[in-house]
Amino acid sequence: MIIDSKETKIQILGEPRIPSPLSGKIKGGYTNRFVSEDERIICAVEKKDIQHYLDNNLEIPSFEKAGPREKIYFDPSKLKCAIVTCGGLCPGLNDIIRSVVLELHHCYGVRNIYGIKYGLQGFMPEYGHDVVDLTPGTVSNILDMGGTILGSSRGTQDIGGVVDCLERMNTGILFMVGGDGTLMAANKIADEINSRNLKISVIVIPKTIDNDIYLVSKTFGFDTAVDIATNAIKGAHNEAAGYPYGIGLIKLMGRHAGFLAATAALAQQDANFVLIPEIEMDLHGESGFLCSLEKRLIERKHAVIVVAEGAGQKFFSDQKTEYDPSGNIKLKDIGVFLKNEIIAWFKEKNIPVSLKYIDPSYMIRSLPANANDSVFCGFLGRDAVHAGMAGKTKLLVSHWNNNYVHIPMEASAGKRKNVDPQGKLWQSVLEATGQGCLVNDCNTN
């Protein structure tokens, strides 16, 4: 996807004039590691697209580096901040909340930090959700909890109503932790703030275990999700190998993208088939999935299948499309569908399979972050605070091309990242599972 360099410019609320209290030169300061406004990195495009810019003599767009700035826009002693978590759960939400609160409190001296309950609902008086005071004390023991201490929600809320609430609370910075839906909402909130001439910064910390947010190399919680999914694959493999013609079938989350299924399958290498939304599923064809599964079972007596929930949705095209309260299409259950198809296929062939179906979806996304993700959340939370304090707005903090960067919302909102069928991840899945060449028996699991 080609990026317009206009999309990579970060908006600011006004000229930052206050010396940052983070400076090591100031008593009680924390750092001298300031990032200059000129520090931009050439990374706004994926490597495969760079040639297009070179061929067409176009300026290669760049993103600015995240991190503390020498001058800040908001006066910490007067600033009020709000944080909200939206959409589906994801490991690390509490780590993000904690790192934002600690950075604001300890490093910048901000004393008014409010947690908005249950996603965007929390801004609407009619729901009656209380606002929570967030201090180092209230966030000290939240890391082991999983989920989000603030709660979350899906569902449309009036953008004007959200901004009314921000005005009533006299908010300076709004931190929104959420996925592509949240990004769309945040974009609209920032536009409404602009149209009212308010000085409120909106910073998104991107979240989804699907790992499909555009211009974000990896979302927090994804590592943890892979870890936990790997255990499910181990279990499925043991079950499958424990019985003649044993089949372990695992469904993992991934609405539009198969990153979790593909990566977890590589972590464990017990999977023999990985089915993802990006690759069209042929079920009954001669070289289709069921035929290949049969070959595998006859040769090896067991098989493990990992399916991403968004795969094979075409099989439900005769069913009514339903939407969740946020407007996302409700996926039909490909796991149960495949289970039934497999059982029917082998019944007809008179092969007595033993199929175990495992769906660990909610167990994965609701658990606490692993150590790596906790560290990652710490970086993202701190960089979100630095961006907001500097008066930047309408951006998401991202890890991209090995750097923490500011991505303007316009550059990412409404777009999506997918597993590239020709890329290293998917090609490695094919090599590791052998699912493309079962006839040649290239899988030794």
Ligand X SMILES: O=P(O)(O)OC[C@H]1O[C@](O)(COP(=O)(O)O)[C@@H](O)[C@@H]1O
Asked if residue 443 lies in contact with residue 295, where contact means CB atoms within 8 angstroms, the answer is: no
- Residue 210 annotated among the catalytic residues of the structure: yes
Does 210 appear as a known binding residue? yes
Position among 88, 92, 115, 381 found at the interface with ligand X (CB under 6 A): 88
Asked if residue 390 lies in contact with residue 21, where contact means CB atoms within 8 angstroms, the answer is: no
DSSP 145: S
CB atoms within 10 A of CB 77: 11
365: partner contacted, choices ligand ADP, ligand X, none (Cβ within 5-8 A by kind): ligand X
CA dihedral defined by 167, 170, 176, 182, rounded to 10 degrees? Answer: 0
Tokens of 231: 């255990």
Residue 429 and residue 324: Cα distance in Å, rounded? 32
Interaction of residue 254 with ligand X, rule CB under 6 A: yes
What angle, rounded to 10 degrees, do the helices at 289-300 and 334-348 form? 60
Each residue 109-148 as x (binds ligand ADP by CB under 6 A) or -, in order, gives ----------xx----------------------------
Position among 105, 255, 339, 356 found at the interface with ligand X (CB under 6 A): 255
Residue 339 and residue 218: Cα distance in Å, rounded? 31
Residue 390 and residue 397: Cα distance in Å, rounded? 13
230, amino acid identity: T
Asked if residue 335 lies in contact with residue 281, where contact means CB atoms within 8 angstroms, the answer is: no
Smallest distance, ligand X to C-beta of residue 331, A: 6
Interaction of residue 211 with ligand X, rule CB under 6 A: no
Position among 7, 37, 324, 431 found at the interface with ligand X (CB under 6 A): 324
The DSSP result for 68-91, as a single string, is --SEESS-TTT-EEEEEE-SS--T
Interaction of residue 341 with ligand X, rule CB under 6 A: no
Does 270 appear as a known binding residue? no
> Under DSSP, is residue 372 helix (H, G, I), strand (E, B) or coil?
helix
Place of tokens 């839906």: 181
Smallest distance, ligand ADP to C-beta of residue 57, A: 36
Each residue 284-323 as x (binds ligand ADP by CB under 6 A) or -, in order, gives ----------------------------------------
Does 67 appear as a known binding residue? no
Asked if residue 107 lies in contact with residue 161, where contact means CB atoms within 8 angstroms, the answer is: no
The DSSP result for 246-299, as a single string, is EEEEEEE--SS--HHHHHHHHHH---SEEE-TTSPPP-SSTTSHHHHHHHHHHH
**Residue of 49, 158, 210, 223 marked active site:** 210
Each residue 176-205 as x (binds ligand X by CB under 6 A) or -, in order, gives ---x--------------------------
Residue 418 and residue 277: Cα distance in Å, rounded? 9
Which of 13/162 has CB closer to ligand X?
A: 162
Interaction of residue 150 with ligand ADP, rule CB under 6 A: no
Tokens of 57: 């003599």
Among the listed ranges 33-41, 71-79, 85-93, 428-436, the one in contact with ligand ADP (CB under 6 A) is 85-93
Position among 11, 231, 328, 445 found at the interface with ligand ADP (CB under 6 A): 328
Classify residue 407 by burial, with Cβ atoms within 10 Å: 0-12, 13-18, 19+. buried
Interaction of residue 254 with ligand ADP, rule CB under 6 A: no
Each residue 156-195 as x (binds ligand ADP by CB under 6 A) or -, in order, gives xx--------------------xxxxx-xx--x-------
Interaction of residue 443 with ligand ADP, rule CB under 6 A: no
Question: Total number of residues binding ligand ADP (CB under 6 A)?
Answer: 21
- Residues near ligand X, by CB under 6 A: 87-88, 90, 179, 208-210, 253-255, 309, 324, 331, 365
Q: Cite the annotated binding site for Mg(2+) by residue number.
A: 180
**What are the residue numbers of the active site?**
210
- Residues near ligand ADP, by CB under 6 A: 86-88, 119-120, 154-157, 178-182, 184-185, 188, 208, 326-328
